[in-house]
Copies of this chain bind each other. A is one copy, B any other.
Amino acid sequence: MIPAGYREPVETRELRYFVAVAEELHFGRAAQRLGMAQPPLSRAIQRLERRLGVTLFDRTNRTIALTEAGTVLLREGRAALDAVAAAERRTRRAVSGRPGLVLVTKAGATGELLSKLLDAYAAEPGAATVDVLLCQPGEQERLLRDGRADVALLHRPFDSTSGLDAEELYTEGQVAVLPAAHPLTNRPHLRTADVAALPGLPLPRWPGPGGTYPPGPGPEVRDHAQLLQLIALGRASAILPDSCLPHLDPRLAAVPVLDAAPVTTVIAWPPHSRSLPLAALIRIALRLGSEHGSAALVQGG
């Protein structure tokens, strides 16, 4: 009956266990995090290794380290767990008759476009309710993947749209944001090199995936408000998209940076999600994006 070569499939519980251990690199702490005792966790990992026919951890009897295969399983397992969580959440929310969209974007960015988009969409006949989720930079992709959000406004090249479907809305240049009193604010324009090494005004460090900060001299920041305040205090400088200009503090000044990479705002959503409310929202975003683009051209030209 059982076909030859049949193997027991991996269960999500085992994946969660593995991810916990791989992240903690410590069976005891991982067990604590999982709300269980350590021995069953050890056994579960052993069983998983047997089942896969692969050793996932190098145990040197005092500390453990991920093998190459373990590194792969950590990455792929996280994605798989996200997919399962997405299936669960999206199913829960699909109870007949309550469409509802969750839109996610970075806190403190895309202010005007977002409010215009929400207004225009709400005016649409038969529009679904749209919940807005504001989060740290770099978290949006995760929220889309694990089903907590349905659609996102992202900013290339800062955010990656890898694995998502996306449409470009508009593209803008970038400006250097400096304390208003800084001598460079008299210049008509700057280059990235001018801003990169300003004495006493280092560029900030943003958290990477996982919430850890890269090493460097700049201050650690988590959102735009925090960053702008640091600049006003004369502790940092920054290069930000043009669209930050309208809500700029009077203690700050902005100078165009000629060779900074252009920033493209895109609307992105998980692949294969073809709901009518989402399609309508995307359509309206595209329309507003092109209007925004031509308005910017008029202003700039």
How many residues on chain A are close to B (CB under 8 Å)?
A: 46
**Which of A84-92, A180-188, A230-238, A285-293 contacts its partner?**
A84-92
B165 engages A165 (CB within 8 Å): no
**Which of A66-74, A112-120, A217-225 contacts its partner?**
A66-74
A1: CB under 8 A from chain B? yes
Query: Can you give 8 contacting A-B residue pairs, CB < 8 Å?
Result: A10-B12, A15-B84, A54-B91, A54-B92, A54-B94, A71-B94, A73-B87, A76-B87
A84 engages B84 (CB within 8 Å): yes
Cα distance, A163 to B79, chains bound together (Å): 13
Which residues from chain A sit less than 8 Å from chain B, CB to CB?
Answer: 1-2, 9-13, 15-16, 35, 52-54, 56, 67-69, 71-73, 75-77, 79-80, 82-88, 90-92, 94-96, 147, 162-165, 270-272
Which chain B positions have C-beta within 8 A of A68? 94-96
A91 partner, pick from B1, B72, B272, beta carbons under 8 A:
B72
Closest B residue to A163 by CB, please name it: B271
B91 engages A52 (CB within 8 Å): yes
Which chain B positions have C-beta within 8 A of A147? 76
Chain B proximity of A159: nearest CB distance (Å):
13
Cα distance, A164 to B85, chains bound together (Å): 20
A12 engages B72 (CB within 8 Å): no
Oligomer copy total: 2
Interface class of chain A by DSSP: helix
B94 engages A72 (CB within 8 Å): yes
A79 engages B72 (CB within 8 Å): no
Cα distance, A272 to B52, chains bound together (Å): 22
Known: A35-B1, A67-B96. A84 touches B9 (CB 8 A): yes
Known: A162-B165, A272-B162. A52 touches B88 (CB 8 A): yes
Which chain B positions have C-beta within 8 A of A82? 83
B79 engages A91 (CB within 8 Å): no
Chain B proximity of A228: nearest CB distance (Å):
32
Cα distance, A9 to B11, chains bound together (Å): 11
A163 engages B272 (CB within 8 Å): yes
Which chain B positions have C-beta within 8 A of A92? 52-54, 69
A90 engages B67 (CB within 8 Å): no
Which chain B positions have C-beta within 8 A of A73? 87, 90-91, 94
Cα distance, A139 to B45, chains bound together (Å): 33
Chain B proximity of A113: nearest CB distance (Å):
24
A69 engages B87 (CB within 8 Å): no
Cα distance, A53 to B270, chains bound together (Å): 24
A69 engages B94 (CB within 8 Å): yes
Known: A35-B1, A162-B272. A10 touches B52 (CB 8 A): no
A271 partner, pick from B88, B96, B162, beta carbons under 8 A:
B162
